[in-house]
Amino acid sequence: MSTNATTNSTCQSGDNLCEVVTYRLDVIVVPTVLLGISAIMLIIMFLLAYRHRRGMAIAAAARARSRGRPRRRTRHLQGIDAPPGINPLEHEEVPMAVHRKANGTDWRPGPLREVTALPRTLPVASDDSYLLYRARMENKSVVLRVLKDSASAEEQREFLSFASFVSGLGPHPFLPVLLGVASRPPPVMMVMEDMRHQDLLRFLWKCRRSDASSTYNMTEKRVFTMAAQVASALEYLHRRRCVHGNVGARSVLVSGDLTAKLWGLGCAHRRRSRTTVSPRSELKRWQPPEMLTRGDSGPSGDVWSFGLLLYEMSTLGEPPFAEVPSTDLQRHIQKGNPLRHPAGCSGALFAIMSSCCRSNPGRRVTVATLLEKLQGVAGEADGRTPIRAAAPVDLELYMRQAGYEDAYNYDLL
């Protein structure tokens, strides 16, 4: 009835063609268009729902990978030297990702050959939880820092935390290269580049021998060159807001080509991880006066210790303030007594040494200025005349003068 009424109102009486067109528009075309629009909307809603579910699946897979649980574990090295963003200490049993080199390729440790134990410079252990070995891997010499099988779960976590800290520092030409870390299968170990001459203290003592070859001759030019390398590494650490806290000849490693690289990072790691550091945990004789009196530690404290490193180098491994008993050291420094001028040390070298060892931290030279001075003087320094010492080192006397009886933690390698 309504359709006929509409048709009659729009078409003239007897116009059959108009009535048919109007009837088709009202009854067939309009419902068909509305049905098509509904179908299109349903398709769009289905695609949106599918896309949402797919996005959630991808996000879940990414979260699983970020927790260090790759789907195909058997194809990956287990270790802690993981890419940025992965927390390797999230679980007690640490799944390690593959360490990637600077060129982006995967690092996989080769078979180890010719493994030999490394003797320590001093007859003391800096850490009873690990051992040091030298080995051959992929036709190059490496050093293995191996956690003992008897280490506790806490010692293992500390070992892996330290490896993660070293890896996070990033590459620097005067920091030892960490090649990789493996935690499974045992033993847990850090694989590092081989520093052929080990620590600088050992090297300096070899330079004391009267029959030393040219390799073990320390000249003043070499002092400036090696000191500048250590200062460059120290400046890099300070830019990363990392205080070393353990600068000394014992914490510098020497490569086969006599490049000096700063090591002994255990103290820096403990401060970064907010681990409680005992007052007896470090050697007092190398600590700045503000550390001895108030327990303060900062970049200027590293500068003080660096000045004492220069003293060690210019005396071929003699401990600083050797003439002062450990019990009187703090009082001796507070009275303003300067560091003794080593025999045969040039005025230029002693001036730099003294600018580091000022009692007031604010008056000490900055590491950037220190590096500039060392590099500037190195070109004019004597590179021919070896520095000589009166006699080979007396190990028992050295241990007593250096104050090793007052400390139980001192990183050598």
3-state secondary structure of 74: helix
Distance of alpha carbon 276 from alpha carbon 19, whole angstroms:
96
Pick the CATH number of 200-406 from 3.40.50.300, 1.10.510.10, 1.25.40.340, 2.60.120.380: 1.10.510.10
Minimum mean pLDDT range among 119-123, 158-162, 206-210: 119-123
Q: What confidence score (pLDDT) does residue 14 get?
A: 63
Q: What angle do CA 299, 305, 308 make, to 5 degrees?
A: 150
pTM as predicted: 0.72
Rounded distance between C-alpha atoms, residue 11 and residue 251, angstroms: 105
pLDDT of residue 388 exceeding 80, the answer is yes
Domain boundaries, the chain: 2-66, 73-193, 200-406
Query: What is the mean predicted confidence (pLDDT) over 195-222?
Result: 89
pLDDT tens-digit readout, 132-150:
999 999 889 999 999 998 8
Q: In the CATH scheme, what architecture does the domain 73-193 have?
A: 2-Layer Sandwich (3.30)
Q: pLDDT tens across 48-105, in order?
A: 777 767 666 666 665 555 444 443 333 333 333 333 333 333 332 333 333 444 334 4
Q: Residue 306's closest CA among 347, 256, 367, 261? A: 367
Please give the pLDDT value at position 69.
42
Q: What is the mean pLDDT of residues 25-40?
A: 73
> Is pLDDT larger for residue 281 or for residue 218?
218
The 10s digit of each residue's pLDDT in 219-232 is 999 999 999 999 99
Residue type for 316, please? Answer: L
Instruction: Tell me which residue of 122, 26, 96 sits closest to 398, measured CA to CA.
Output: 122
Tens of pLDDT, residue by residue over 278-329, are 444 467 899 999 988 888 789 999 999 999 999 999 999 999 999 998 888 8
Examine the pLDDT at 271 and tell me if it is beyond 50.
yes
The percent of residues above 70 in pLDDT, for the chain, comes to 73
Q: When comparing pLDDT for 184 and 153, which is higher?
A: 153
pLDDT of residue 376: 93
Do residues 269 and 157 touch, judged by C-beta distance below 8 A? no
Q: What is the average pLDDT across 108-126?
A: 75
User: Can you give the pLDDT at residue 219?
Assistant: 94
Whether the per-residue pLDDT at 1 is higher than 60: the answer is: no
41: helix, coil or strand?
A: helix
Average pLDDT of the chain is 79
Which pLDDT score is estimated for 261?
98
